[in-house]
Homo-oligomer: A and B are copies of this chain.
Amino acid sequence: MVQVTPWEVAKKIDYDRLTKEFGLAPLPELPKVFNDFHLFRRGIIFAQRDFDRIITSVKEKKPFAMMTGLMPSGKMHFGHKMVADQVIFYQSLGAKVYLNVADIEAYNSRNPNMKELRETAVNEYLINYVALGLDLKKCDLYFQSERSKDNKKSNAYYRLAGMLARHGTFNEFKGVYGEITPGKMTSALLQAADMLHPQLPEFEGGPLPVVVPVGADQDPHIRLARGLARRIKEYKFMPISSTSNIFMPGLKGGKMSSSDPTSYIALTDSPAEAAKKIKKYAFSGGKATLEEHRKKGGDPHIDVSYQMLRYGLEPNDKNLKKLHDDYIVGKLLSGELKNILVEKMTLFLLDHQKKREKAKSKVEKFLS
């Protein structure tokens, strides 16, 4: 299997190889409505499976769904925000959103305290999602441990997870997860059910296009769910559509990891904390000396500050291009680029954290 490390991502290498080996297809020509979204327009979403179905649904105003999950563990950072951005984008296109809190998966792989998992889900993730613009009313938000208040829906979802087990082999699961444990096995089956169950009679009424946007390393999960769906005869499923996005690099250029706060900016970090982290840790694409930088220019592809602007903090393409162009010719210095990021980050965090206050009561109301 192709190894994808965030470092490679930052270096912008070999997404072509990845695409080939996973059997992903490049993105087709996209209608304007997709390119209005910066993650498509800026090539951050770079590949797809059966995405034509989604394009057609949008064009013809036919129903479709999008599904994603969140792991209620650690802080919600800018890597997670990229997922939320996509959820909110598809919601704006009219998709029925299925948003899953993977608490059983988190219980099995991380923290065996369901109460803590629930608190993290609510305080970190759901409140941030709503503050970012998620409309809970147009969303089927659920916990893996508690699918629905409608018993028919709950039973249908768990029944599907149980039945999918027949249609996979251990080697298949190993291919996705590496070393497999009973906990991972269970999580994998629930995850496949998460992706497929919108098409059950009890949910959207039958087969319909469902898009699952994932990071490049998660495509094996998509393939697994597609394989299981093909083999189960009790239900007729339309194959899952997906998009793959490149990773957001961690602050230090390596992996962005929930367990290392110096690798990310959390959406609840104070502007001061965020500024400090950026100044101290953000990996720079600049040269070793001012003189050399002025002469040879910097490399925006590996410059984390530039990348964070590209991933969304600078929404204006012209401004972004100017930063890019100035940086590669050495006109813009690394420190200056960091300052620009700090400024944008500060504005974002202040605004977002204000929105969180309103979001809190919405989430509480929704869950009660």
0/1 string, A161-182, CB within 8 A of B gives 1:
1110110111001000000111
Cβ 8 A contact of A148, one of B107, B146, B151, B183? B151
Q: Which chain B residues border A291 with CB–CB below 8 Å?
A: none
In whole angstroms, how far apart are the Cα atoms of A112 and B104 in the complex? 26
B145 touches A162 (CB 8 A): yes
Contact A162 B104 (CB under 8 A): yes
Please name all residues of chain B whose beta carbon is closer than 8 Å to the beta carbon of A145 when the two chains form the complex. Answer: 155, 159, 162-163
List the B side residues contacting A154 at CB < 8 Å. Answer: 151, 154-155, 158
Any B CB within 8 A of the CB of A39: no
Residues of B within 8 A of A113 (CB): 234
Instruction: Report A96-148 residues with CB < 8 Å from chain B CB.
Output: 104, 107-108, 112-114, 144-148
When the two chains form their complex, are residues A165 and B151 in contact, meaning their CB atoms are under 8 A apart?
Answer: no
Interface residues, chain A, CB within 8 Å of chain B?
Answer: 104, 107-108, 112-114, 144-151, 154-155, 158-159, 161-163, 165-166, 168-170, 173, 180-183, 185-187, 189-190, 233-234
A173 touches B182 (CB 8 A): yes
Establish whether residues A169 and B182, one from each chain, have CB atoms under 8 Å apart when the complex forms. Answer: yes
A155 near B146 with CB under 8 A, answer yes
**Alpha-carbon separation in the docked complex, A163 to B180 (Å):** 16
- B155 touching A182 by the CB < 8 A rule? no
CB distance from A102 to the nearest CB of B (A): 11
List the B side residues contacting A144 at CB < 8 Å. Answer: 162
Could you jot down 17 A-B contacts, CB within 8 Å?
A104-B159, A108-B162, A112-B166, A112-B234, A114-B163, A145-B159, A147-B155, A148-B151, A151-B151, A154-B158, A158-B158, A161-B186, A165-B181, A165-B182, A182-B185, A185-B185, A185-B186
A180 and B182 alpha carbons, distance in the complex (Å): 11
Residue of B nearest to A172 (CB): B182
Least CB distance from A105 to B in Å reads 9
Q: How far is the CB of A197 from chain B (nearest CB, A)?
A: 13
Give which listed residue, B107, B112, B166, contacts A108 with CB less than 8 A: B166
Interface centre among A151, A165, A181, A185, by most B CB within 10 Å? Answer: A165
Q: How far is the CB of A209 from chain B (nearest CB, A)?
A: 26
11 extra A-B contacts, CB within 8 A, seeds A107-B162, A145-B162 = A107-B163, A107-B166, A114-B234, A144-B162, A148-B155, A170-B180, A170-B181, A170-B182, A182-B189, A186-B186, A186-B189
With a cutoff of 8 Å between Cβ atoms, the chain B residues found around residue A181 in the complex are 165, 169-170
3 smallest CB-CB distances across A and B, nearest first, come from: A165-B186, A151-B151, A104-B162
Contacts of A162 in B (CB 8 A): 104, 107-108, 144-145, 186, 190
Residue among A150, A154, A234 facing the most chain B CB atoms (10 A cut-off): A154
- What is the CA–CA distance of A162 and B169 in the complex, to the nearest angstrom? 19
Query: Complex Cα distance A173/B146, Å?
Result: 26
Complex: A278 Cα to B244 Cα, angstroms? 66
Q: Which of B148, B163, B183 contacts A166 (CB 8 A)?
A: B183
Residue in A113, A158, A233 whose Cβ sees the most chain B Cβ within 10 Å: A158
Taking a contact as CB atoms under 8 Å apart, the answer to whether B234 and A165 are in contact is no
Partner of A104, one of B104, B151, B163: B163
Q: Is the CB of B147 within 8 A of A165?
A: no
